[in-house]
Amino acid sequence: MSETTTSSAQQGKILDGITVLDLSTFVTGGFSSAMLANLGAEVVKIEQPGYGDAIRHSGPPFIRGESPYYWTVNYGKRSVELDLKNEQAKEALYELAEHADVFVQNYRPGTAERLGVDYATIKEHNEEIIYLAISAFGQTGPWAKRSGYDLLIQGMSGIMSVTGEEGRQPVKVGLPITDLITAMWAAFGATSALYRRELTGEGEYIDLGMLEATLPWLTKQAGQVFADETPTRMGTKDPVLAPYQTFETADSYLNVCILNEKLWHELCAVIDRPDLPADDRFETNADRVAHQDELEAEIEATLGEKTTDEWIEIIADEGGVPAGPVYDVDEALTNPQVEARGAITEIEHPELGTIPVIEHPLTFEHTESGFEMPPPLLGEHNREVFSDLGYTEDEIDEFENMGVFGAQDGGTDE
């Protein structure tokens, strides 16, 4: 390989040359295809004419009519409006599918068949397609045809039963966590299937349900159930480690993470509490877990004497013990570590000027990653995408006249 070729390969992205058709709405499919876009895939977002992905309308807040929430799930994509009730639009979709590598949808089971975009139909046009069908409960089972969203899955997966404070009502995680969990499985499944296709030449159908996507993340709580214990809500405390929780300081809150006896003794030394390890209630981790309320009272009494910043310097910077502040979201996005790592960047938006971008965290030594395009305006790439397929301007004009990009009463069936 020549030096020029080697340099070019190193400057590319892992998924360069991969095309993704994303018919999904909201987060599960959208975040997964954004992950693929970050690694170089060309993602074409197929949207309902005149309305688009429902996440475009999620808010407030809005910035000049645009939803910043929508941005975070759709960096790096192109948008095409297709009225899937229009036969010409459906044929146009099939032609896009012929040139695609991955096809993503998150319809309720049965809807894809009704629209003519199910796996069997798409496979007729592209036998090597990687087809990803995301739904709340998967394509089979007694609940398959139920609709479902993050809140429902948080409840049914057990997450809410262990989130919140003892004796109070269950609490959902403040993020759409099961949407994001499912999205990451989706991206992992798609890239795994692409790798298998490289080895076998065969396409793949992936059936992904949000409920079962979430269950592997239960880890320690599942371990408790396997040991015939019942996980409970514990606030910020941990069922198997102590102290591993949030403590109140003189001015805010501090997280302390003690995973072994060495760290326990180091913590007690730096906060000047050598009496704690000598106390029979706190000698071992098992002892501390059994006496978490008493342990919390002892440690919080000491931590209340100084501010969080003062304790961070003492415990984390000087003592080397895992501890950190509880940031609000603005602080999480703007602190020195995040800035040093380039985790938040900027990109030019066609109507809003410069907008912020939350970059994805994979940093490769031998290949690039990162978003190169802003989240698209609705239908921004209607003509461009088909022009890239070789359609003439007159042919694209005819598409418009036939209502391919939006009939008078068009729109996809959600």
Known catalytic residues?
Answer: 179
And the tokens for 191? 């890239």
* H or E element that contains 22: strand 19-22
Pairing mode, strands 19-22 and 353-358: unpaired
**Exposure string (b/e) for 87-104, b if CB count within 10 Å is 16 or more?**
ebbbebbbebbeebbbbb
Question: Does residue 131 contact residue 203 with C-beta atoms inside 8 Å?
Answer: yes
Within 10 Å of residue 259's Cβ, how many Cβ atoms? 13
- Distance from C-alpha of 403 to C-alpha of 88, rounded to nearest angstrom: 8
Count of residues for the chain?
414
Burial class (CB within 10 angstroms; exposed 0-12, middle 13-18, buried 19+) of 410: buried
CA diameter of the chain: 84
Q: Within 13 Å and on the Cβ side, how many CA atoms surround 243? A: 27
